[in-house]
Copies of this chain bind each other. A is one copy, B any other.
């Protein structure tokens, strides 16, 4: 228990929160530096400045740890917009998700979480995204009557291409491209004043 923990000492909050933050930071750094290298708990512990047993006490495996880091990273980073219409909300949100997925460090973390975390890691990578879609669609239902797409359909048409291009095609889509995906989900005339993303971003 005498290992040097310089990162911990400088952080506010309880010891438990500080350890968690230091370990999360270490994972993000290591994955960004060498995505293909096998991450192990001792390597993470050394970088974080804590004992390996401290890490094992909270996360039994590297997969669990990566899933936890991914859950944190993909929660709360993106805010649900409120432009007054579903089309405007989705257009701005899709552009924000595209911008987030264009960060190479984000992709490195996703790939690592998918590789070591299995289903848990995969679920963590979706993070809040489907819940955010559900919130926007639910609000539209409260706003007006008429057909509204299901969350599943919205995830297929928006998150599908966004994640596919980022993870599989190694070519994250642009915010403009992402905005236009919404027109596939919501066909019909586009109100030019509906484009919250361009006028207010």
Interface residues of A (CB under 8 A from B): 35-36, 38, 40, 61-63, 108, 111-119, 121-123, 125-126, 155-157, 159-165, 167-170, 181, 184, 187
Contact = CB atoms under 8 A, between A and B. Distances in A.
Given A38-B116, A114-B115, A163-B164, A122 B157 contact: no
Nearest to A170: B119
Given A164-B163, A164-B164, A118 B111 contact: yes
Contact of A156 (B63, B119, B155, B181): B181
Contacts of A165: 156, 160
A61 B40 contact: no
A125 B35 contact: no
Which of A119, A160, A168, A169 is the most central at the interface, judged by chain B CB atoms within 10 Å of its CB?
Answer: A168
Q: How many copies, total?
A: 2
A168 B36 contact: no
Which of A40, A159, A161 is the most central at the interface, judged by chain B CB atoms within 10 Å of its CB?
Answer: A161
A178 to B, nearest CB: 10
A163 B167 CA distance: 10
Contacts of A163: 160, 163-164, 167-168
Contacts of A40: 38
Nearest to A185: B184
Given A38-B40, A111-B114, A114-B114, A122 B160 contact: no
Closest 4 CB pairs of A and B: A115-B115, A160-B160, A160-B161, A156-B161
A122 B111 contact: yes
Given A35-B118, A115-B112, A164 B170 contact: no
